[in-house]
Amino acid sequence: MKTMISLYLLERTINFAILKRVYERMENKRGAGMIYFDNSATTKAEASVLRTYQTVSEQFFGNPSSLHQLGEKSRQLLNLSRKQIAVLLNVDNEEIYFTGGGTEGDNVAVKGTAMAKINYGRHIITSVTEHPAVIKSMEQLEHLGWDITYLSVDDKGMISLKELKQALRKDTILVSLMAVNNETGSLQPIKEVGALLRHYPSVHFHVDAVQALGKIDLELSNSRIDIAVFSGHKFHAPKGSGFMYVRKGRKLAPVLSGGGQENGLRNGTENVPGNVALAKAVRLLLENQEAKKENLLSMKNSLLDYLKTFQKVTIFSPEQSAPHIICFGIKNSRGEVLVHALEQDEIYISTTSACSSREQGNVHSIKEMGYTIKQAESAVRISLSNMNTSLEIEAFKKQFSRAYERLTTMEE
Amino acid sequence: MEITEIMVRYGELSTKGKNKKKFIKILYKNITNKLKRFDGLKVSYNRDRMHINLNGENAESVIEELQEVFGIQSFSPVIRVERSVDAAKEAVIQLIENNYVPGMSFKINTRRSDHTFEYDTNEVNRLLGSVVEEHFKNIHVKMKNPTATIRVEIRKRGIFISVDTIKGRGGLPVGSGGTGMLMLSGGIDSPVAGYLSLKRGMRIEAIHFHSPPYTSPQALKKAKDLTVKLSRYAGELTFIEVPFTEIQEQIKKVIPEEYSMTITRRMMMRLTDEIRIKRNGLAIINGESLGQVASQTLESMAAINAVTNTPVLRPLISMDKIDIIDIAKKIDTYELAIQPFEDCCTIFASNRPKTKPKMQKVADLERALDVESLMQKAIENIRIQTISTEINEQNEIEKQFANLL
């Protein structure tokens, strides 16, 4: 018996030693040298946010629905988190619902509206450049008999208000648009759409705001927006955390039925640590918001000015776009080649959207803006966060010019 | 034009002779306490009125707070314009426009503390009155009971004009009428009884009987939340939590079921009275309304009341449930009160309580209880807490979790 235990321990020690060596090697290779420019795909979680996650998981792990003290503490903590987000966004506590992220929020907004308003109409308006969470939900509804109008976009990625106005019908129940396009950073005229929809008070107005929080001004409380969807991991909160704003008085059906949590809209035991961490991340994100937006914009402009000096670079992001996204391409060079070339120098950028970048030819926003398939396939996306530095911007420039030389020479 | 001042009228206080000065002082204290979050305010008072100088604070928020203070008959927002008749004319026209109804009557009531002003009181009355009559088609001057009285006061610092009179909450200032112990269960009635007692100037302390584990922390919290709601009208309230588990268990064990309700209530009454003596209270208040439940028949009340000579006040005694609910909704305690947590009146409740308990039988049965020692133990373990605004309790929770968020 003794021998067995010592053998086991020996094995453990050896395994640990090997693991440690592998880990150290990884640290050397990555670590300080890495440049992460794929923040629209996801972000690195903030250290203090993760500490909150851990503390809550260890100390306040009770189920908020439980009657006892431990549950009560969790419930208080959950409500405080909700309140913190509500105060920061200047809305009411009851208007904030925790979710599992952007895809879930979009699904609830679209299908939840469709189900809740099934007796009032079956027509929905959206745009051709929406995130798959919206587009695929629409397609599902289409199969079930709903009528969907997909608005086209111009070369800036924007829908036309005129077209929207023409599309609105008596049986329209929902208009669903994204605030910031995840591939190009294009902005939709949310305020103007809101103004138009004031004349259609019964239509739900859903805004996919996943790329918008802390990046552009998005007023909720005095706006016409009924539903806005946010995702935590896009701003340094843990993955699997998110929330949505649903204006008081607007009815949505839950997509997952269950125990009545989140006022019956989002059933299932609450992700308390995730939600508390999320509330903290929202606070950190919105602290010194203006300065941070400035910082993003100055990094973006520095990159743009540099990229524009290259003859074969096409910038797809419109002039007026989100301060953290640059979508561009090198002529006749597939985007994924540039992604892999830069990866060799530990610079991480992305083909246009992480969700679809593993599927061939899925570059729909750029195509819809009027570019050719070939141009669209050259597209890559740089997406910044305030964890990036101007040093990284300079380092990127150096590596990019090398990659540019290499790829354009290869082509000739 | 901006609201610079709010003028408060005392109402019933004016009739209280010698005590008037004391009453006004209490009201002054209550008002300044209620408005303490507005840093800029200056409150001053004389025999007839109180003046709240806003100094730039938001008039609407101040008015909202004032509407929760007992002892105010009415108050008027006052507008200040520059010291010229033209400015006063313009302001008066606009004020009437805001309240204009065809066929209405009005009067101008001018006071002049600044005697250097170019016109005297009557001249100002006439000047402003004729402007109003010219400007509005269907309006006339009336000296007695006009629809609108426009008060114009000419002072060194400008002309002060007021027209809107907002009804105050009435009643007497809390603290002018001694202290009563409110038996607060967590239902709809007792908070209303507390509110009505506050209205007549009584200070109240809430006594709540708590029987864990048969009653839940949520039930306790509900009672405290109700106290928070009442505190809006009282400034601060004392909340006294009485441990009642052992007494209820004993009663369950040794008292026949049909008499357990009566005897439980008698124990509550005794404990409340004991606490009243310690806290220098003068009366006991409860939310009983005649005939509402078994404990609220006259026979029951008599049997329960027999344990004390202290006045037991029952502000709701003649009210219908529907009227009680109306008040509960007005003071925002209704939604809280209907939350379904069991309180100590519903646990161990008999299906067939005596509605006409016999006094002698009650006394005989009660001998099975060691009343003295049970009471002593409960009294030794009461918890006394000061409850003021919602924000305080919330702050405690927020502080606890601050480092996480």
Which pLDDT belongs to residue A412? 55
Q: Measured at the alpha carbon of residue B224, what is the angle toward residues B219 and B226, in degrees to the nearest 5?
A: 95
Residues A174, A110: contact at Cβ < 8 Å?
yes
Give the best residue of A80, A84, A275, A285 to mutate against chain B (max B CB count within 10 A): A80
Q: Is the pLDDT of residue A67 over 50?
A: yes
Judged by CB atoms closer than 8 Å, whether chains meet at A76 and B218 is answered as: no
Of B142, B167, B192, which closes a domain?
B167
Q: Are residues A277 and A175 in the same domain?
A: yes
Tell me, yes or no, whether A184 lies in a domain. Answer: yes
Summarize the confidence of residues A373-397 as an average pLDDT.
94
Q: Does residue B280 lie within any of the structural domains?
A: yes
State whether B261 and B316 are in the same domain.
yes
Question: Does residue A181 share a domain with residue A101?
Answer: yes
Same domain, yes or no: A301 and A275: no
Give the pLDDT score at B346: 74
Whether A201 and A103 map to the same domain: the answer is: yes
Place of tokens 């029952």: B314
- Say yes or no: A304 and A368 in one domain: yes
Considering the domain architecture, whether residues B329 and B211 belong to the same structural domain is answered as yes
Residue bearing tokens 């705001």? A209
Task: Say yes or no: A232 and A143 in one domain.
Answer: yes
B276 annotated as belonging to a binding site for a ligand: no
At which of A286, A316, A336 does a domain end? A286
In a domain, A75, yes or no: yes
Give chain B positions within 8 Å (CB) of A238: none
Residue A2 CB neighbours (<10 A): 6
Which of A56, A67, A69 minimises the CB distance to B404?
Answer: A56
Same domain assignment for residues A71 and A177: yes
Closest CA to B190 of B314, B39, B343: B314
Q: What's the pLDDT score for residue A5?
A: 58
Question: Hey, is the C-beta of B216 within 8 angstroms of any chain A C-beta?
Answer: yes
Q: Which of B126, B142, B167 is a domain's end point?
A: B167
**A360 reaches B (C-beta below 8 A):** no
- A-chain CB neighbours of B216 within 8 Å are 67
Is residue A171 assigned to a domain?
A: yes
- The residues, ordered by sequence, that sit 6+ positions from B231 with a Cβ below 8 Å of its Cβ are B237, B387, B388, B389
Q: Which candidate from B216, B218, B401 shows the least CB-CB separation from A80?
A: B401
List the single residue in A with minimal CA-CA distance to B393.
A76
Q: pLDDT, tens digit, for every residue of B218-259?
A: 899 899 999 999 999 998 899 999 999 999 999 999 999 999
* Nearest residue of chain B to residue A280 (CA atoms): B405
Q: What pLDDT score was predicted for residue A199?
A: 94
The answer as to whether A15 is a domain residue is no
pLDDT reading at B13 higher than 80: no
- pLDDT tens-place string over residues A124-170: 999 999 999 999 999 999 999 999 999 999 999 999 999 999 999 99
Q: Do B94 and B29 belong to one domain? A: yes
Rounded mean pLDDT, A307-329: 96
Chain A closest CA to B397's CA: distance in Å?
8
Q: Quick check: A353 pLDDT over 90?
A: no
CA distance linking residue A67 with residue A104, whole number of Å: 29
Quote the pLDDT of residue B4: 86
CB of A322 within 8 A of CB of A179? no
Encode pLDDT of B240-250 as tens digits: 999 999 999 99
Q: Which of residues 259-278 of A touch B (CB under 8 A)?
A: 276
Looking at residues A44-66, what average pLDDT do you find? 96
The ipTM estimated for the assembled molecules is: 0.73
B79 and B21 part of one domain: yes
Q: What percent of chain A has pLDDT over 90?
A: 84
Residues B70 and B141 in one domain: yes
Q: What is the band of B9 on the pLDDT scale with cuts at 50, 70, 90?
A: confident
Q: Contact, A131 vs A181, CB < 8 A? A: no
Q: Is A283 on the interface with B (CB under 8 A)?
A: yes
Question: For residue A204, what are the β-bridge partners?
Answer: A174
Closest CA to A231 of A45, A9, A33: A45
Asked if residue A25 belongs to a domain, the reply is: no
**A155 neighbors A367 (Cβ within 8 angstroms):** no
CA B6/CA B34 separation, integer angstroms: 15
Q: Are residues A376 and A298 in the same domain?
A: yes
Please give the tally of structural domains in chain A: 2
- The last residue of one of the domains, among B167, B189, B213, is B167
Q: Is residue B270 part of a domain?
A: yes
- Would residue B174 count as lying in a domain? no
Confidence tier at A25 by pLDDT (50, 70, 90): very low
pLDDT tens-digit map of B350-363: 788 888 999 999 99
What is the reported pLDDT for B58? Answer: 87
B123: CATH = 3.30.2130.30
What integer is the mean pLDDT of A366-382?
A: 91
Which residue segment(s) compose the domain that B128 sits in? Answer: 5-167
Residue A189 lies in a domain: yes
Q: Does B401 touch chain A (CB under 8 A)?
A: yes
Distance CA(B215)–CA(B50), nearest Å, equals: 47
Say if B114 falls within a structural domain: yes
B194 is in an annotated binding site: no
Q: Chain A: residue nearest B399 by CA?
A: A80
Express as a percent the part of chain A with pLDDT over 70. Answer: 89
Please give the distance of CA B343 from its chain centroid, rounded to a whole number.
24
Which phi and psi angles does B122 have, rounded to 5°?
Answer: -65, -40
Domain count for chain B, please give it.
2
Q: Are residues B185 and B153 in the same domain?
A: no
DSSP codes, A360-408: TT--HHHHHTT--HHHHHTEEEEE--TT--HHHHHHHHHHHHHHHHHHH
B76: in domain: yes
What number is the average pLDDT over the span B337-358? 82
Q: What is the DSSP string of B295-345?
A: GGSHHHHHHHHTT--S-EE-TTTT--HHHHHHHHHHTT-HHHHTS----TT
In which band, very low, low, confident or very high, does the pLDDT at A361 lie, cut at 50, 70 and 90? very low
Query: Do residues B111 and B183 share a domain?
Result: no
Among A256, A286, A316, the domain-final residue is: A286
DSSP helix/strand/coil, B290:
coil
Long-range Cβ contact pairs of B31-37 (< 8 A, separation 24 or more):
B31/B66, B31/B69, B31/B72, B33/B235, B34/B65, B34/B66, B34/B68, B34/B69, B34/B235, B35/B62, B35/B65, B35/B66
pLDDT(A261) > 70 = yes
Question: CA A129, CA A138: separation in Å to the nearest integer?
Answer: 13
Same domain, B219 and B131: no
Strand order in the sheet with A350-351: A313-315, A325-330, A379-383, A350-351
Residue A138 lies in a domain: yes
Tell me the chain A residues in contact with residue B397 when contact means C-beta distances shorter than 8 Å. 76, 80
Q: Please write the tens of the pLDDT for every residue from A173-201.
A: 999 999 999 999 999 999 999 999 999 99
My answer on whether B152 and B200 are in the same domain is no
A77 contact B CB<8A: yes
What pLDDT digit, counting tens, does each position of B23-59 carry? 999 999 999 999 988 988 999 998 888 999 998 888 8
Residues A266 and A315 in one domain: no
In A, minimum Cα distance to B219 occurs at A67
Q: Is B167 helix (H, G, I), strand (E, B) or coil?
A: strand
Please check the confidence at residue A85 and state whether its pLDDT lies above 70.
yes
Q: What is the mean pLDDT of residues A262-286?
A: 96
pLDDT at A3: 56
Active site residue A355: yes
Same domain, B85 and B135: yes
Å from A108 to nearest chain B CA? 27
Six-digit token pair at A169?
Answer: 């019908």
- What span, in angstroms and rounded, lies between the C-alpha atoms of A191 and A185? 17
B73 is in an annotated binding site: no
A169 shares a domain with A82: yes
Q: Give the pLDDT score at A325.
A: 97
- Could you tell me if residue A373 is inside a domain? yes
Mean pLDDT of chain A: 91
Catalytic residue among A161, A315, A355, A395: A355
Is any Cβ of chain B less than 8 angstroms from the Cβ of A84?
yes
Q: Best of A50, A58, A74, A77 to disrupt the B interface by mutation (most B CBs within 10 Å)?
A: A77
Residues A282 and A354 in one domain: no
Q: Residue A280: which domain range? A: 47-286
CATH of the domain at A155: 3.40.640.10
Question: In this complex, do B404 and A67 lie within 8 Å of one another by their Cβ atoms?
Answer: no
pLDDT computed for residue A29 by the predictor = 45
pLDDT band at A30 (very low <50, low <70, confident <90, very high): very low
Spell out which residues of chain A touch residue B398, defining contact as CB-CB under 8 Å: 80
Instruction: Tell me the pairing of strands B148-155 and B158-162.
Output: antiparallel
Give me the pLDDT at residue A27, please. 47
Residue A233 shares a structural domain with residue A293: no
Indicate whether B42 belongs to any domain.
Answer: yes
In this structure, is residue B353 part of a structural domain? Answer: yes
CATH assignment of the domain containing A363? 3.90.1150.10
Give pairs for B42-48: CB < 8 Å, separation 24+.
B47/B20, B48/B9, B48/B10, B48/B14
Residue B173 placed within a domain = no
What pairing do the DSSP bridges indicate for beta strands B2-9 and B72-81? antiparallel
Q: For B102-137, what is each residue's pLDDT tens digit?
A: 888 899 999 888 888 889 999 999 999 999 999 988
Closest residue of chain B to A283, computed from CA coordinates: B405
Subunit contact A279:B217, Cβ cutoff 8 A: no
Q: How confident is the model at residue A382 (pLDDT cuts 50, 70, 90)?
A: very high
**Same-domain check for residues B296 and B345:** yes
Answer yes or no: is pLDDT of B17 > 80: no
How far, in Å, CA of B71 to CA of B58, rounded? 22
Supply A212's token pair: 């918008």
**Quick check: A76 and B217 CB within 8 A?**
no
Helix (H, G, I), strand (E, B) or coil at B48: coil
Using CA atoms, how far apart are residues A203 and A169, in angstroms rounded to an integer?
10
DSSP result, A192-254:
HHHHHHTT-TTSEEEEE-TTTTTTS----TTSS--EEEEEGGGGTSPTT-EEEEE-TT-----
Residue at which a domain ends, from A286, A316, A345: A286
Distance between B404 CA and the closest CA of chain A, angstroms: 5
Helix (H, G, I), strand (E, B) or coil at A160: coil
Q: What is the pLDDT of residues B385-399, one digit of tens each?
A: 998 865 566 677 788
B162/B127 same-domain check: yes
